[in-house]
Amino acid sequence: MSQPVLVDTLQAENGRLIGVLTLNAEKTLNALSLDMIDLLSAQLSAWAEDERVAMVLLQGAGEKAFCAGGDLQNLYSSMLSQRLAGQRDDVLANWYAKEFFAREYRLDYQIHTYSKPILCWGHGIVMGGGIGLMAGARHRVATEKIRLAMPEIGIGLFPDVGGSWFLSRMPGRLGLFLALTGASINAADARYIGLADRVLEEADKCGVMEALLCQPWDADHAGNHRLLGAVLRCAEEMHGVPAPGPLRQHQDLIDHLCTRESLEQVLQAMAECHSADAWLQKAVGAAARGAPGSLALAWRLLQAAPHLSLADVFRLEYGVALHCAAQGDFAEGIRALLIDKDQQPAWQDASTTDHFLNSPWVAQQHPLADLGHPHGNTR
């Protein structure tokens, strides 16, 4: 049986090591399982303490995807079991959901705050949990084949994995638009909104790795960040500036649609938007079909996130995710998309999620209470 994460090290010319982590589940488009999360976290922790390791490369196996999201099948089974047991009112009753989201968010936070350089090579499909991995890396490459999206409103969840944090910090109202539509974006748009640092071609990867193996790596993390950044900048300069993607092309209209006082007004403006552009029409159509409760959660979370630290965002999202698993539309969304594949979800009213931002724990007992505290990191 193949390992869900392949672990390797490459020796640079001066003897320092480059750690390589490869998500290795091509059949599921490298979707994150609990085993993958645990392996990634443990190896990153080990390499953080290994003075020989100068940097880490995070990549996906195959040509189709870096990571298409989280392990929806097992989450669906756990939600069905919770409901069959009559435990919908107990937000903390689903062991698998509690473990999956807690460990996934811890891994994402670990990547955000990792002291050594992490290079995330984003190629192919990058969705949901895949963006959670990519967003936190300090060095992120988007290739010509990348397609990024946070499509959670279509499955009864919300843009999680820190989405409330990074979507709320994008130019104009683009983050809100992406949260409410789940629209897919290309490499140029990913760079523009801050989800990628460099746009390269997949064919550049071998040359980049050769250049990295020649660098004078040492124990200075800041210096190693500069070395990696310089290699990527040099590689990108060979291609020039990519043409603006559809998100940037339509930014003025998107800002106009999404600058309203209420979610209802934003959705109404989208519904009345008639454009000949196929990308824009697909996006606003997805918002109209999304779970009303998920749209409401996305709206409220993006309003709250600018006032919170990254650690606090993960703590907030964790409670909301467990509410979605227990009482929300998450199971119904997965059923309609992946199980029965009828594309006919029976969504609940948006008001059913009114209490989802209420934490199931007091602050000191929150399972993620330690995020941001051990080393004084409050990012």
Which residue in 129, 130, 182, 245 is the catalytic one?
A: 129
Do residues 258 and 176 lie in contact, with contact meaning Cβ atoms separated by under 8 Å?
A: yes
Is 152 part of the annotated catalytic residue set? yes
243 alpha-carbon distance from chain centroid: 24
Annotated catalytic, 70? yes
- Known catalytic residue: 204? no
Catalytic residue chosen out of the listed positions 19, 60, 69, 70: 70
Contact 152, 160 (CB under 8 A): yes
- In terms of DSSP H, where are the helices of the chain? 34-49, 72-84, 95-112, 129-136, 163-167, 174-181, 187-193, 205-213, 221-237, 246-249, 251-258, 263-271, 278-289, 292-304, 310-327, 330-334
239-256 as b/e: b if 16+ CB within 10 A? eeebeebbbbbbbeebee
Quick one: pLDDT at residue 1? Answer: 67
129 is catalytic: yes
**Among residues 104, 108, 152, 236, which one is catalytic?**
152
Two structure tokens written together for 47? 């390499």
The position carrying tokens 């964790």 is 318
Q: Which of 71, 160, 189, 204 is catalytic?
A: 160
Q: What is the mean pLDDT of each run of 10 residues along the chain (379 residues)?
A: 93 98 97 97 98 98 97 96 96 97 98 98 98 98 98 98 98 98 98 98 98 98 98 95 94 97 98 94 97 98 97 98 97 97 97 96 92 58
Q: 17 in helix, strand or coil?
A: strand
Q: Tell me, what amino acid is at 335?
A: R
Cα Dmax for the chain: 61
pLDDT of residue 373: 76
Domains of the chain: 5-365 (3.90.226.10)
Report pTM. Answer: 0.96
∠ Cα 4 187 214 (to 5°)? 65
Q: CA 243, CA 255: separation in Å to the nearest integer?
A: 20
Residues 6+ positions from 105 with CB-CB distance below 8 Å: 160, 161, 162, 314, 317, 318, 368
What pLDDT was estimated at residue 2?
Answer: 86
